[in-house]
Amino acid sequence: MISGNLEYLMTSLPHLQFTNSVEARNRVYAIFKAYALNEESSSLTNVLNQEAAKYLSPEKEKLFNQIELKTIHASEFQNSKYSVLSGFSTFYLALKHKLKSLRETRNEPSELTNTSSNTLVLEPGNPLEQEIQIMHLQWEEVENLSIGHFSDFDALVAYKIKLFLMQRWWSFDEAVGFEKYLDLIKMRNDG
């Protein structure tokens, strides 16, 4: 990519959609591969970090590189001055609490379930289907938070979060997941 600004970067990145089609995945991988500094670039997010670094101040680059789904709920992100980052961080933490609450109610004897706003409602399905539902909720939240952000740092943060979500979905292997699920059930029954 040539020198420029975030507007150039944002328009150069492949459009992300919440889909697991092979065509969409191949398109995204092909475009990112074209931007990779070397063949060994280990992940799409590493390529994104490298490209974004060309357009960001050192402070923003450091913050951008720290963004990971597994730590997005940290207080430093919740207190960020960037609305997409702080909004998603707060949402993600609340979602974690709702998921914990949902798991606890599933493990309790059959009583009236809590239908308060603190409870997460998921369509019935296998664990993979429910995980995709959870990711779709996250995707929708990023979409809502990024309204009005097209070529600023918040737009770049939203893109990175979406890329994380897509990479997660694309990494799922239904057969391996089912085997792990069966192992988990067996461990519960044995112990």
Work out the pLDDT band at 3, boundaries 50, 70, 90.
Answer: very low
Among candidate residues 70, 38, 32, the one with its CA nearest the CA of residue 52: 32
Q: Return the pLDDT at 191.
A: 63
| Domains in the chain: boundaries | 6-190
Q: Measured between alpha carbons, how far is 126 from 184 in angstroms, rounded to an integer?
A: 14
- Residue 118's Cβ-count burial label (10 Å; 0-12, 13-18, 19+) is exposed
User: 93-150: per-residue pLDDT in tens?
Assistant: 999 999 999 888 877 765 544 455 567 889 999 889 999 999 999 999 999 999 999 9
Model confidence pLDDT, tens digit, residues 7-57: 999 999 999 999 999 999 999 999 999 988 776 667 899 999 999 999 999
* Mean pLDDT, rounded, for 65-78: 98
Spatial neighbors of 46 by CB under 8 A, at least 6 apart, are none
The pLDDT, as a whole number, for residue 2 is 37
Which 3 state secondary structure label does DSSP give 39? coil
On whether the CB atoms of residues 10 and 155 are closer than 8 A, the answer is yes
- What the block records as the tokens of 3 is 């020198």
Decide: 151 and 11 in contact? Cβ < 8 Å.
yes
The confidence score (pLDDT) of residue 90 equals 98
Q: What is the value of pTM for the model shown?
A: 0.86
Report the pLDDT averaged over residues 67-91.
98
Q: Which two tokens stand for residue 15?
A: 């459009």
- The gap from C-alpha 80 to its chain's centroid, in whole angstroms, comes to 18
How far apart are the C-alpha atoms of 156 and 138, rounded to whole Å?
16
Give long-range contacts, CB 8 A cutoff, 24+ apart: 4-10.
4/55, 5/55, 5/151, 6/55, 6/56, 6/151, 6/152, 6/153, 6/155, 6/156, 7/150, 7/151, 8/55, 9/51, 9/52, 9/54, 9/55, 9/151, 9/156, 10/150, 10/151, 10/155, 10/156, 10/159
Q: Is the dihedral of CA 34, 36, 40, 45 positive or negative?
A: negative
Q: What is the pLDDT of residues 157-186, one digit of tens each?
A: 999 999 999 999 999 987 777 787 778 788
